[in-house]
Each structure stands twice: as structure tokens, then as C-alpha cells.
Structure 1
Amino acid sequence: MKSVFSQHSKQIELPLQLVTYQNKFAFIDLFAGIGGFRIALQKLGGQCLGYSEIDKQAIKVYQQNFISYLNKDEVELGDITKITELPSHVDIVVGGVPCQPWSVAGRLKGFEDPRGKLWFDVIRLVNKNKPKGFIFENVSGLASPKNIDNLELIVHELESIGYCVKWKVLNAYDFGLPQNRERVFIVGIRNDLEKCQEYKFPIPLNIHPKVFDILDDIKPAKIIEKVKLDRHTLFKGMIPPSRTRFQKDDELNDFFIFSDLRNGHTTIHSWDIIETSDREKMICLTLLKHRRSKKYGEKDGNPLSFDNFKQIISDLEINELNELVQKGIFRFTADHKYEFINSKNMTGINDIYRIILPTADIMPTLTATGAKDYIATVSIHASHPQEYKNIFLEKIYNQKKFIPITAKHACKLQGFPRNFEYHEKDDIAKKQFGNAVPVPVVEYVAKELLSILDI
């Protein structure tokens, strides 16, 4: 079944129904999760001979979607560390090897984390079974400078057992999903097939649906062409170095971040929400500007004393600082200094970190731990940063025209089928989708592999 996104007549097909075609090849699904790899491979004509997963809730979802009397002979392999043998005549082995050891959330422990050592079980089973090829997926952190030696070790071990191996970081955004999700894909072809060097990773589709295209509960917004703005208007002359490929240097952002530690043109501060005078706003911005100065301490962010403030604002009265404490913007520290109450970036303000506009063509990465991200249900337009912020506060934030990301949203943002039966508890389902692989990326990576293998 086709899903057509309304973007200037461009179209993309996503697997909106679970489908089964005539079997062309056999595969094993390691670290199966809720079946992201399987959906893509079945669409391409694959038959799953066995799956390995240890999370009981994930197994429940996997089985209710894929296991029936039609494939009752399929093997539930269980814990990969206890698997001694895979079913014979397997063409491809796939799997999303646990990524936490290589992620920032997992504190980048790598092989020091027991989950990181599961790679050696993967290599052991591939070596014993000798499939024609494999596809493995992991977080982009595995390819970071800190972990690149570990990635090279994994590639070397796979090469040493008789495979030609290639890897690349791919982003779900480049394959028709409005999500910024970078993942390392590792593809291998058995050396005796003499075809590995022919493999090429799929190129970006250059099809970018908007957020409202993929989420049913947000009505399509009329897209007004954005006003082009100069750097001085947007950044006061200096473009922040932290901007990503999804942020243009001559347009307003498609999202608003709630943070007292940043000051971008779409940053909402607590003093934008709480009634404050222009002078109070100036005092807040003074702390924001100077708190990272090494003059006041070695931390990434340092509180300032009254005397510190006086050196910057000579006519400052201490009661002005205390009034900001009373308003819930500043707090006293143990050493009688002043710091923002909202002093941790990702915690946001009032339990909101980010609100994405429905006209955006990119969402932040879905994670298993979740994030304080929301989606606006109405769109806005402006020709100046301050006007943009004012309209956002008036029409979206104050009127609560935004919704949390639900399991239904996560299902679509990962490219899962419309009739996929996810977990009945929304928080568990969102965690499972956060751990899942984006289906369209797997489909295109696998399609290239199958064409090389003549399957």
C-alpha cells in the first residue's frame, strides 16, 4: 500500500501494511526488538527462520505481529549468548546490536559494558553459520572519534572470518522520514562470492515530508515561503557553531527551545514566560552571558555573587537579584551566589525542552529514554525573530496548542506499518520504538545487498 506525502508532488512508498511476498531468501533476526529489520526484509521477499530477543515486552509485540500458525516452525532463539547454532541455509543475518555502550546516554562505555561484548557473540555465530551476507546497525556514536578504534576492531574481526565489510553512517531523514536519526550500518558479503567491492550504500532520496504530513492528528498547514533574513538580524552578526545541517543561516528555525542557558533566536527563557521588566531581563541576560567565564570558576557554568554582578552592572541593588529569586528565575547557591533555577539544559522549563512546528521537515531523534519534546498543532509565520517569538508565545505556548509525542507518532516516525500492533502501554511502546531501527533505511540498505547477491 502506498503512502503519498504532500510535498510538491514528490512521492515515497513506505510499508504502511505488514506484507509478505513470495519468499526469495532466508534470514535470521538477531536482537530482533519489535521487528524493524523484519518488516523491511519481508517486504523484499525474505523468510525469517529464527529470531533472538530477551526483552519479554518486545517479544510479546514481535510475536503478536509476526508469529502465527503459518510460521509456527520458526525458531525462537532466545539469548544470543546461549545460542550454539543457527538454522541452516540462511542467506542473511541481520540485527540491531545493543547500542547503549556506544551512546552518550550509555556513557560511552563500549566493550567495558557487558552489552558491548555481545558483538563477539554476533561474530561467533556469523563465523559458524557462514551466511552469504549480513547487515548490522548501531548508534552513530560507534563511529565517533572516541569509539572509532572499537568500530575498526569489529570490522577487522568480521573480515578475519571471511567477509568483505563496509560501513557508513546513514540518517533516516535522507530516506523519507522526518526524523534526525543517524545510525551506523555495517554490511558484509562472504569473500568467496567475490562481490563485496561492488556494494554501494544507498544514496539519499531527496524526499522530505513535513511533520504534519506523517502525523494524522495535525491538520495540514498552509506552507508560506519563509522570509530570508540577514545574519545580523538572526544572530547579531555571529552564527553559533553548534548549528546543524537542518538549520539554515538565513531563515528562522522550525522549533523553539526552552532553556535559560541558551540565547538563540528561537530560545524561550523563563523570563519570557514570567512577567519581568526590561531591566530584569537585562540582569538575566547578564548572568547568561557571564556564567561560563573562567573568571568566575572552572565549571561549565558558574553562579555569580552580588559583587560579581556589581562589577558588570554598577548601579545594581541586591534586592533586584532577590526579586528574581522570588519570581522563581534565580536561586541562591550554598556559597551565597546566584544561579538560574533552570540550570540544566535538557530539563527545559516547565517540563518542556522543545516544541517543533508542524511545518518542520525534521524531528529530533526518538530515544528509548524519551525526551521533553512536543509538536505544535498550529503553524506560525513572521518576518522578524522577536515577532516570531511573540507569536509563538501568544498562539502556541499560552494557548497550549502543542501535544506530546505518542507511540502512534513514534510508529510513523520510524516508518513502521500503519497496522503494526504496538504495545498497549504508550510509555513502553515509545521506548520500544526509540530502540527500533527505521524501516525505510533498512529496506534500501538491504535492497542494495540483495541485488549484489543476485537474490
Structure 2
Amino acid sequence: MITINQAKVNSQSNNKQLELFNPSKPLELNFIQKKFTFIDFFAGIGGFRIPLEKLGGKCLGYSEIDKEAIKVYQNNFIGYYNAGELNLGDISKINHLPNNIDLFVGGVPCQPWSVAGKLKGFNDPRGQLWFDVIKLVNKYQPKAFIFENVKGLTTGKNKDKLEYLVNQFENLNYVVNWKVINSYDFGVPQNRERVFIIGIRKDQKNCQSYQFPKPLKVHVRLLDVFDELKHCKVIKKVKLSPDILFNGNVPPSRNRFQKNDELNDFFTFSDLRNGHTTLHSWDLIKTTVKEKKICLTLLKYRRSKKYGVKDGNPLSFGDLKELITDLKESDLTKLVNKNILRTINNKYEFVNSKNNSGLNGIYRIFLPNSETIGTLTATGARDFFATVSINADNPEDYKKKFIQKIYKPQKFNPIMAKHCRQLQGFPDWFQFHHKDSIAKKQFGNSVPIPVVYHVAKELIKLFDIDYFF
């Protein structure tokens, strides 16, 4: 029987073997494997191809326009035995495909539906590529398709665009389902939400039977997957009252990975936000009690509508004097000289005025205990991971230990391409681009392989085919 790759990760997180998808180790399937054919649109570096081949798929052609991605794709997948596989190029210029294709797949460019892409939707040339997808689905009528995109396609003003796409596919004789899936729920320590759109041609006897896979009941931590953290042990954290962590006011922006009764597993570097694991520039350099008070006052009131309509306004000396009665202009001058504050139109604001820019080139440092890291993106992020663990009974000691044991001795590493490979579930044999910056961009653009595997497995079970390649 053909096998797939699956690994047992010895997780210190819960002291038991976690059975997770890993293309590097074989384990027999628990269902009869079927052979099927597929076309890999928007192929990137092969995030769809790897799990589909492990499920018994044969790629008949791939479509991609990024030259560097094509190099990586061909280096990993195109060889002597499939040298004639179709390189389809630009999807908008495809005029011929093989007949009787079972499956179309692809991660349609997501920038038009994201904030980073300015939410231009179908007005963005990349958003219009959906029309090429629809045209090819209509012409070649594959038995099914799987398309992936950002969660933003399902929310706000984009939701009607998703409904439009679903209606278009339904009019082409397909039963369509979609769902937002987080890669964290399928054994990947990354908070990555993506929408998967599944279509099954209505003449297939099981076209109404598709069900998205249920989340796995196992989770891993960074210390389970990064080689540099194999020496770390899981820290059992103390339970704390939200009153201690948030002064009784839990921020609404917290996500599912930030427990309201535990210290966070990461530290954020920002002068524009506050929290029990937020580090400010005045925490990292020598400042007086009064200087800290000035900075925290500016941080608190800079978003007040009293001082302007922007989401963050500079305050004048007079504004700050009303809030801190013993304030002197010399106090502000000292903070300017320390490069914490700067003046603009005789008002004061933080030098570090962009949240995601972080401080000193660092935005976040995740601890080994963390079950998830931020979403990998094509543009990248100033994210790092600590190489030692810390614990504390209160937020104040937690910050002090972090600065003393991790930040000052530089016990942290940047997220490199080899880590992105693990965070997207790519196998160890996968050869990424030799330039780390390009490789990280390509991984950020890719799909999490374990998610594709589980989504596709439920679809392949329904196929009424039996090919022999």
C-alpha cells in the first residue's frame, strides 16, 4: 500500500506521543488510497503538491509566474521521471489543459483581500485572477477543486465577494463549501487562519457528503519543533487573577492563545501599546521614575479625541502639564535626548511611532513554551524566539527576568527560513531558496501542508476513481 508521511512528536507539552502529519516519516493510511490527477495553480513552492502526492495524486501541470518560486518548485519536484510535466505559466494565458482532470487546487493571490493589499478586491489585478479560475473550472469541469485564501475574504465588505464566487461556482454545476481553518488546530505552532473553498461537481455521487476535518486534539509548542529548543522543558505557569494581569479590565483584542489567567508566552516591543508582557523603550534604557511616568501618560492619552482625530496624537507641553502638574520642559528635553520622544510642530510624540516596527529591530520574542507564533507573511515580521525559558509569579518579576535572562544577554534568535519550513509543515527534505529573505517570503506565501493534507484527505475519500500510474 502507498504510504503517507506522518510523525510522532515526543511532546513535552503533555508527556505523550502526538501523532502529527509530517511528510518525512511513513505511516500507512487508515483508508484505501485512491489515485487521482490534479493541476497545481498558483503553485508557489509546492505547498499543495506535497500533501496531494502523499495522498496518491499525480500532478499533470503547474501554473506559476514568480521566477524564483518556479526555480524552487522545479528543483524539488521536476526530475527525470516527470520532465515532461506541463509548466503552464501565467494562469490568465492558459488555453489548453489535459482532459479528465480530477482536481484543481491553488492558493489564489490573497493581497486584494488583506489590509496589506489595501483591500482592493476585484479592483486589484490579482483579485481578477479569480475570473481566470472560474473560466478554467467552467471549461474543464474537474471533479472537484480546493482553493485557499486569507480570512479577510470572508469578513466585512469582502464577504459579498465570497458569496459572488460561491454563486459562480454553484452555477457551474458544483456543490460548494467553505470554512476558515487555523493551522494551529492541525499540529502547526502558528496562528494562521485561512479560508478553504471546496467544490464537488454535482454529478459525483458523494457531492453532498463533504465535511471539513475536525481539529486535531494535539498541540505542539515551539520547543517541540525548533532544534535550538530541544533542551527546553515545558514551564508550568501559575494561575493569576485577571485583576493582577489587566487591572480588572481584560483587553478585547486578546486572541484565543492568550489566556486571561496566565502570563503571556511572548513579549512585544512597542511604545504605542501596553500590557503585562509589553516592553517599552523606557524599560530597556536607564530612565527615572518621573520619566517613566511621563511616557506612560503620553501613551495613555495620545489616543484621546481631546488631542486630535488621529489614532495617536502628539501632545504639547501644556497638554502634558495639565496631566502632570510638576512637569518641566527640561524633563521632556531629557527624553528627547534619550531618543524616546521627538518634537513635531512643538508637540511631543514617541520616536518609535509605528507599532509593528517594534524597538531596535524587534517586534516580538516568543518563549519556548509558546504553542503558537504569529502568522508568517510574505512581507515578514520582526519576530524572534527565546532560547531559554523563564517563569514568574507576577508580571513585574516576569518582565525583569525576561530583560535580565533573555533580552540583555541576547538569548534569542531570529525566525529564519529553516524555521518557516517547520512552521508551515514542510518536510526536512524540502530544499528552500538559497537566499533566506526570498525563502521566508515564499514560505509566507505558501499554505500549511498539514492543513491541506487533512482537508484534501476528506475530499479524496469521496472520489469514485481507481487509476494506476
- Is 1:185 matched up with 2:192? no
Alignment deviations for residues 2-50 of structure 1 (CA, whole Å, 9 cap, x no partner): 4322332132232333989987111110010000100010000000011
Closer/same/farther in 2, CA of residues 19 and 137 from structure 1, 3 Å limit: farther
Letter in 2 for 1:274: I
What is residue 51 of structure 1 aligned with on the other side? Answer: 62
1:361 equivalent to 2:371? Answer yes
Question: Does the 8 Å CA contact 1:18/1:39 hold for their aligned counterparts?
Answer: no
Taking the aligned partners of 2:217 and 2:288, their CA distance within structure 1 comes to 47
Q: Which moved more, 1:174-183 or 1:80-89?
A: 80-89
Q: 1:4 aligns with which of 3, 8, 24?
A: 8
| Structure 2: tracts of 5 or more residues without a match | none
Equivalent residue for 1:63, pick from 49, 74, 90: 74
Three-state SS of the structure 1 residue aligned to 2:373 is coil
Q: Deviations over 1:367-419 (max 9, x none)?
A: 01100000111110101000000000000000001111011000010000110
Equivalent AA in structure 1 for residue 287 of structure 2:
T
Partners of 2:8 and 2:383 lie apart in 1 by: 26
| Over 4 Å off, 4+ runs | 18-23
Secondary structure of the structure 1 residue equivalent to 2:385: strand
- Taking the aligned partners of 2:146 and 2:325, their CA distance within structure 1 comes to 63
Q: Is the 8 A contact 2:38 2:57 kept in 1?
A: yes
Alignment of 1:142-291 (within 5 A): 142-291=153-302
- Within a 5 Å distance, the mapping from 1:39-438 to structure 2 comes to 39-333=50-344, 335-438=345-448
3-state SS in 2 of match to 1:85 = coil
Q: Which moved more, 1:209-218 or 1:254-263?
A: 209-218
Whether the aligned pair in 2 keeps the contact of 1:253 and 1:266 (CA below 8 Å) is: yes
SS in 2 for 1:17: strand
Identity %: 61
Q: Does 1:32 align with 2:27?
A: no
Paired residue total: 454
Distance 1:220 1:180 in 2: 24
The 1:20/1:61 distance shift into structure 2, 3 A limit, reads: farther
Q: Tell me: CA distance 1:269–1:405, structure 2 relative to 1, closer, same or farther (3 Å).
A: same
Q: Is the Cα–Cα contact under 8 Å of residues 93 and 131 in structure 1 kept in the other structure?
A: yes
Residue pair 1:17, 1:420 contacting (<8 A) in 2 also: no
Report the AA paired with residue 408 of structure 1: K
CA drift of 1:212 comes to: 1.3
Question: 3-state DSSP class of the match of 1:224?
Answer: coil
What's the C-alpha RMSD, in Å, of the aligned pairs? 1.5
1:317 deviation in Å? 1.0
Q: Which moved more, 1:220-229 or 1:95-104?
A: 220-229
| Structure 1 contact 6–209 (Cα < 8 Å) conserved | no
Q: Any idea what the Cα deviations from partners look like across 1:328-350, whole Å, max 9, x if unmatched?
A: 111011x1011011111111111
Amino acid in structure 1 at the alignment position of 2:134: I
C-alpha contact (below 8 Å) 2:335/2:341 kept by paired residues: yes
Structure 2 distance, partners of 1:409, 1:227, is 29
Q: Distance in 2 between matches of 1:341 and 1:244?
A: 28
Query: Following the alignment from structure 2 to structure 1, what is the Cα–Cα distance between the partners of residues 333 and 159?
Result: 49
Distance 1:130 1:175 in 2: 30
Give how far 1:224 is off. Answer: 2.6
Secondary structure at the counterpart of residue 8 of structure 2 = coil
1:16 matched to 2:23? The reply is yes
The Cα shift of 1:299 comes to 0.8
1:200 aligns to what SS in structure 2? coil
Confirm or deny: 8 A CA contact 2:235 2:389 kept in the other structure: no
Q: Which residue type is aligned with residue 33 of structure 1?
A: G
Please give the secondary structure, in 2, of the residue aligned with 1:152.
Answer: helix
Change (3 A) 1:20 1:389: closer
Q: 2:7, 2:26 within 8 Å by CA — same for their partners in 1?
A: no
Counterpart CA distance in 1 for 2:319 and 2:455 is 57
* 1:88 Cα deviation after fit: 1.4
Note if contact 1:50-1:77 (Cα within 8 Å) is conserved in structure 2.
yes
**Within 1, Cα distance between the matches of 2:115 and 2:6?**
37
Paired AA for residue 265 in structure 1 = H
1:436-455, aligned counterparts within 5 Å?
436-455=446-465
Q: Cα offset for 1:196?
A: 2.7
Q: CA deviation at 1:89?
A: 2.0
- Aligned-pair CA distance for 1:261: 0.8
TM-score in terms of structure 2 length? 0.95
Higher strand residue share:
2
Aligned equivalents of 2:359, 2:380: Cα separation in 1? 16
Distance 2:213 2:78 in 1: 30
By how many angstroms is 1:86 displaced?
1.4
- Report deviation, 1:73: 2.5
CA distance change for structure 1 residues 18 and 6 in 2, over 3 Å: closer, same or farther?
closer
Is residue 259–residue 270 contact of structure 1 (8 Å, CA) maintained in 2?
Answer: yes
* TM-score under structure 1 length normalisation: 0.97
Cα deviation code 1:235-257 (max 9, x no counterpart): 01100110001100000000000
Q: Alignment partner of 2:21: what SS?
A: coil
Tell me the distance in 2 between the aligned counterparts of 1:112 and 1:315: 54
Deviations 1:306-335 (A, max 9, x none): 1101111111111011111111111011x1
Question: Aligned partners of 1:146, 1:338: CA distance in 2, in Å?
Answer: 36
Aligned to 1:206, what secondary structure does the other structure show? coil
**Distance in 2, Cα, partners of 1:6 & 1:287:** 47
1:45-102, CA deviations, whole angstroms, 9 ceiling, x for partnerless residues?
A: 0000111011111111101111111112211111100101211121111011111111
- The answer as to whether partners of 1:169 and 1:184 remain within 8 angstroms in 2 is yes
